[in-house]
Structure 1
């Protein structure tokens, strides 16, 4: 609302009257006219004209005053269109107030703009200062002009040192400087470069990996603009990527070893089938033609060779974790003392053998024979790695393994209490390439004829069979340390059976089912020699059809476990549907595993391991028929 404006015309009129009286007096004197009549005529004229003049003057002034008081200037718009002095006054008043309103609006808009700008600056300042990334503004020569708090912390500079004399090129190692300089040259054309990885350097000299984005701003300026560099410390990301890579390596190693284990198991199965046929026929030769000393000798040699071959497949099955374990509680220290005694007497005196038995809890549940074999394998490998002699140390200690232990290993550890058995030597050591293959079957660095490549593979299998782990530390020229981790007091139950020693003849009708023809013929020959009636089938489907025709005619079925289309377990299930009381022996080239345990639970009498000879077969058949 405008302030009230007062127009008082009376003082002005009095002044006019005084002036007029003075003028009339002077004129009357000059003309020598009597002043009083003139004065009387003038006063009469004045008092007649004055109200009219007063009305003419005061009316537009009141209109203007009223418009100013009310703020409603539309009241004088019509007056402003007149050509009178009051019209001009009204027009000027309208223009004044219009300009005044425009000025007020302009000032208001400027204040709003200033407030918005200030708020925007605060937001951006807050955004920049609270950013987890280091943000720096530099000229095209790399001289830092402004940097945020994170940049100061990351590069070890205080905020007081933001004087512009620090160059971004000095924040990278010497070898990385040319790369940054080339980026600053390139950014003039590209104006923006995203996610460049490079090494950066803190004030204390520490190097860290960084990801940097560059943007050119104010390029139209005379100085060519400035460069905003956003630096992100990616140390943790690189650690995560490394851990992820290690984890992927762990899984790849596990899958690789599992795949190789399956391959080894398959090879062992097929090999045992072949050895079964060879040993079967050799045993038949001994029993039928044993009167001939030469034939008997040759047959014995064949059987001896098949036994050695069976030991070889046993190592493969140990690697594949399908070996037959004899699990008992035993003291690892007792076994190591035995190994220590053997080594002292069997290896050259140029080797120094030491035994450091520090474990407080040395008793585990396991196969002591496999454990001893594993330690001997490692010890003999250590001996071979020290052609000029050296030191061999057998050592034990109890350790507790946790999840962090897996992070630096190529395997995943079940947390718990373990006994660590290490075999350490001062030999030639191994490089990373060799280390990545040492547990693979048939992989060896020894000369032809000096190693089968199954020693460490069987050690690996032993550890897996005992739910343990193996760790290797080695460098060329610095020796090797194998550390075996066995869980303490972890029970593992496996079935076991004694091998028969004598042939037992009998009677009955036996159905033999195996997809290997030569092994099938050998078993048929042995059973016929033992007095049994024998029928054969080369697959599970034929066996089921055979029993269907006359279930009562079959006293015993000898089933191969691994056959195409229908394996031994499925065949046995279908045979039981035909004849629930049917008796079955399971013949397999694999060792005891979960599937074999299941088929025993489902009613199979027992397992017979390939290769076998007549005496073993006779005892198993007799046991199955009389059971």
Structure 2
């Protein structure tokens, strides 16, 4: 039982009650000597507290040393009974002991507290840690209880100190009881020797006259004390040094004046030396033969020692009650002869929710006692009591009671048999403790721990506490540590059986030194830290870990690290994708700006070349001009590729079925690829429709096929596959680039060529990046593909392995099933016969403006040219009779092209307009006054396309006028 108490001291809330019960048993059990009882106390305290040794010392009368009364050590050997601890009678040790306070020294070599300067006094015991507990009888220091630990220091807990306080009260009570018993035995022996006469001779006989004046005080064998002689000639209440113990002289005076018998009157005398002595007085009135009152005759007896013993017993009882109150223990006594409860402490009655009197009255039989207990616990309770009665033993049991208000309380009970002075079993003595709050707290703690465990298990990471050694040895790691960072494929059932080596985190070599430096810096600064590093799991996966921790001090004084680890792999990939996207956006913006300016230059070159060609009849010169015009057209194609990468290309999306695009491509693939490349098509028969620019889609497919051809110089297999795909949240999370959820149509082009090196995969979509030899490619093919697909609302995935091959998968947004999109017609045809139409042009680029004016005037139109939108508005306000407005989208000044059209249509609502732009994105700028029939042209513009657009707009205007 004691071993169990030592093991459960820190967790069992009833430990203190169990410990006090053991001490109470030592106090009530019959023992022939004080030394034996003290040894039992020392043994019980050592075993319960888990101490190396416990000793009880009595204070020497010279107040300069402690004499060993009893000692018990864990090696089961007792020290020499003659051992002493010396100290200065005027020094700090005695002063501290008289303060009645328990002093805890956790380390005798580094003491703190009131005995720090005199700790060497207790080094005589051979201890490293000491709990020094003074023993008192009222204000008199009796001795010291010393609980010690060796050979290591020990931090004394609050539970150990409370246990020591209760033990001090019980040991002091036992010492006082032993002293009283010794004094009682001495008195008994004295009485046996002196006999009845000696006892009577010690009484004082006193006599008064009829006025109550004391006329004589007579002692049989002793001389009267000086203070007793002062009574002669005075009435008892006139003596200033004598007072009744209770009630004052008033009631006594009235009784004597009424000639009543006086019994059991306790008088207190203040002696000449200031001490107190107590006398018990009794007296009877005396009358003469005529019945007249003549005075009192009585006896007084010295009861000073008796009163002192009663005071000691009361103090001992109070200490006993205080210990019970501090421990929240209820006490009871069951009389086995009467078979009823004869004593119930106030603490116990309070636990049962009744008064002491009510509890005793209601527990007047064994059957009545059972009614307190919960029906489910009653059989176990009865069995424990019946076994105790049959074996003359006690019991320890946990039960529940139901109080009158219906509330249920959980109790822990201990009971032991009680004996009379002859050793006969007469009663059962018991203590109990209400542990309801502890049980409720334990249940709440269990639920809280369960919730915390579930929360920790659901984290995408782990909690940890490790030592600062080379292996970061684990003090604690939650299960998420192994699941997320060591072996994701392993079952949690076997983790507890793994050795420490299987829990080592495989941090990348490049990060190890950095991580340790961060942690050591945090330890030095006593601050938290954050660090991110990469690891490799057992199955070879590369993962990223974000860790936050802080240094803590263990119970042994060592510095350890505790914190949290989070799987940051997805976050890291998202950051890399964002950086890549931002880099692409920056390059795209730069590329778009360059293409815009280049388009203006090409517009001037192409326009002037076409004008010059019209005036040249020489065949050779015309060939040279045609070559220049062709080169300018190729330059325009190059800028279109650049704009496609920048997602600013001019697109004319139509409803497409990618199966048809692939089937049409099969007609020319054979002419493009060598005979040693086999072509396979795997087309989804239920393929959804998408909306994309047909020409750009065909161009993308051609680029991918040519790239596949170049990757298979020695021949191979080319596969084109179409498929429907629904992108869900899981797929979005696993992608390295953002893509919206929804329905997609995919087209995949796969080859069995040499593959793309892994280190180059991140660069293949960058403009002008190519692995081809100089002069064999511009590096814009893949960047154009990427820009076109992203501008169309999709994305591109690349899967490649060196020596195996490469797959490019294009994602196009699928059209809703109920949506029908009409194909947009392209502008075609030749210009109609020019009219005398008046055209207002607003273009900020002077070279482009000059070409436009020349082309249109040569075509027979009347042209007014302006260098900005603001200038064009001023011209129009002066003369609004223009048939058409041609305006650049972006111009300096207040009015951009769309704003100019909007304000001019306030004057002329029917004014048609054609917009020119170097950015396809600019054509999306619109206002509330723009018409659906307004045409948008991408620079550089061929003369035929410009004249055809003008003719279409003017014909549409004329047709609308005729209809009106």
TM-score, normalized by the shorter chain, greater than 0.5? yes
CA contact (8 A) 1:79 1:90 kept: no
Counterpart-to-counterpart distance in 2, 1:199 and 1:592: 42
Change (3 A) 1:45 1:442: closer
* The one of 754, 767, 772 aligned to 1:441: 767
CA contact (8 A) 1:214 1:227 kept: no
CA contact (8 A) 2:728 2:742 kept: yes
Counterpart-to-counterpart distance in 2, 1:592 and 1:191: 55
* The one of 730, 737, 751 aligned to 1:425: 751
Query: 2:914 maps to what in 1?
Result: 585
Change (3 A) 1:136 1:94: farther
Residues 1:454 and 2:780 aligned together: yes
CA contact (8 A) 1:463 1:486 kept: yes
Residues 1:522 and 2:854 aligned together: no
State the secondary structure of the residue aligned to 1:86. strand
**1:466 deviation in Å?**
3.4
**1:66 deviation in Å?**
8.3
**What TM-score results when the alignment is normalised by the length of structure 2?**
0.49
Residues 1:415 and 2:753 aligned together: no
Residues 1:86 and 2:274 aligned together: no
CA contact (8 A) 1:423 1:482 kept: yes
State the secondary structure of the residue aligned to 2:639. helix
**1:325 deviation in Å?**
3.7
Query: 1:305 maps to what in 2?
Result: 631
Query: 1:216 maps to what in 2?
Result: 553
* The one of 526, 533, 539 aligned to 2:862: 533
Counterpart-to-counterpart distance in 1, 2:924 and 2:908: 22
State the secondary structure of the residue aligned to 1:564. coil
TM-superposition CA deviations, 1:137-168 (whole Å, max 9, x none): 9899999998799799999799999xxxx996
More deviation, 199-208/584-593:
199-208
CA contact (8 A) 1:196 1:211 kept: yes
Change (3 A) 1:135 1:63: farther
Higher share of residues assigned strand = 2
Counterpart-to-counterpart distance in 2, 1:146 and 1:77: 70
* The one of 639, 642, 650 aligned to 1:316: 642
TM-superposition CA deviations, 1:36-82 (whole Å, max 9, x none): xxxxxxxx99999999679x999999955889xxxxxxx98875886
Residues 145-156 of structure 1 aligned to structure 2 (within 5 Å) = none
For these two proteins, the number of residue pairs brought into alignment is: 566
Counterpart-to-counterpart distance in 2, 1:322 and 1:176: 43
Change (3 A) 1:148 1:248: closer
Counterpart-to-counterpart distance in 2, 1:330 and 1:144: 62
Residues 1:357 and 2:549 aligned together: no
* The one of 603, 606, 610 aligned to 1:283: 610
Change (3 A) 1:595 1:202: closer
Query: 1:107 maps to what in 2?
Result: 323
TM-superposition CA deviations, 1:396-442 (whole Å, max 9, x none): 22221112212222333232232221111222322454322322333
Counterpart-to-counterpart distance in 2, 1:76 and 1:494: 127
Counterpart-to-counterpart distance in 1, 2:679 and 2:312: 113
Counterpart-to-counterpart distance in 2, 1:595 and 1:525: 28
Residues 1:505 and 2:834 aligned together: yes
Residues 550-561 of structure 1 aligned to structure 2 (within 5 Å) = 550-552=879-881, 554-561=882-889
More deviation, 368-377/250-259:
250-259
Change (3 A) 1:260 1:359: farther
**1:512 deviation in Å?**
1.5
Query: 2:946 maps to what in 1?
Result: 617
**1:572 deviation in Å?**
1.8
Query: 2:504 maps to what in 1?
Result: 172
Change (3 A) 1:497 1:350: closer
Bigger RCO (CA 8 Å, 6+ sep): 1
State the secondary structure of the residue aligned to 2:902. helix
**What TM-score results when the alignment is normalised by the length of structure 1?**
0.72
State the secondary structure of the residue aligned to 1:498. coil
CA contact (8 A) 2:840 2:865 kept: yes
Residues 1:466 and 2:792 aligned together: yes
* The one of 392, 415, 418 aligned to 2:718: 392
Structure 2 segments unaligned to the other structure (5+ residues): 1-190, 220-227, 249-265, 280-303, 330-432, 457-461, 487-491, 958-964
TM-superposition CA deviations, 1:532-589 (whole Å, max 9, x none): 232211111211222223333x333211112233321122223233444433221223
CA contact (8 A) 2:603 2:940 kept: yes
Counterpart-to-counterpart distance in 2, 1:205 and 1:332: 39
**1:593 deviation in Å?**
6.4
Counterpart-to-counterpart distance in 1, 2:714 and 2:907: 69
* The one of 221, 226, 245 aligned to 2:572: 245
Counterpart-to-counterpart distance in 2, 1:203 and 1:388: 39
Q: In angstroms, what is the RMSD of aligned CA positions?
A: 5.5
CA contact (8 A) 1:171 1:200 kept: no
CA contact (8 A) 1:61 1:86 kept: no
Change (3 A) 1:345 1:157: closer
Structure 1 segments unaligned to the other structure (5+ residues): 1-12, 24-43, 68-74, 219-224
**1:172 deviation in Å?**
2.4
Counterpart-to-counterpart distance in 2, 1:355 and 1:140: 61
Counterpart-to-counterpart distance in 2, 1:534 and 1:578: 20
State the secondary structure of the residue aligned to 2:660. helix
CA contact (8 A) 2:463 2:563 kept: yes
TM-superposition CA deviations, 1:201-233 (whole Å, max 9, x none): 999999996766553345xxxxxx354756556
TM-superposition CA deviations, 1:599-623 (whole Å, max 9, x none): 8834774233432344333333333
Query: 1:96 maps to what in 2?
Result: 312
TM-superposition CA deviations, 1:504-541 (whole Å, max 9, x none): 32213322211111111111111221222322111112
Query: 1:274 maps to what in 2?
Result: 601
**1:193 deviation in Å?**
7.9
Change (3 A) 1:125 1:507: closer
Residues 1:484 and 2:816 aligned together: no
Higher share of residues assigned helix = 1
State the secondary structure of the residue aligned to 1:525. helix
State the secondary structure of the residue aligned to 1:551. coil
Residues 1:265 and 2:597 aligned together: no
**1:483 deviation in Å?**
0.6
More deviation, 373-382/311-320:
311-320
CA contact (8 A) 2:721 2:747 kept: yes
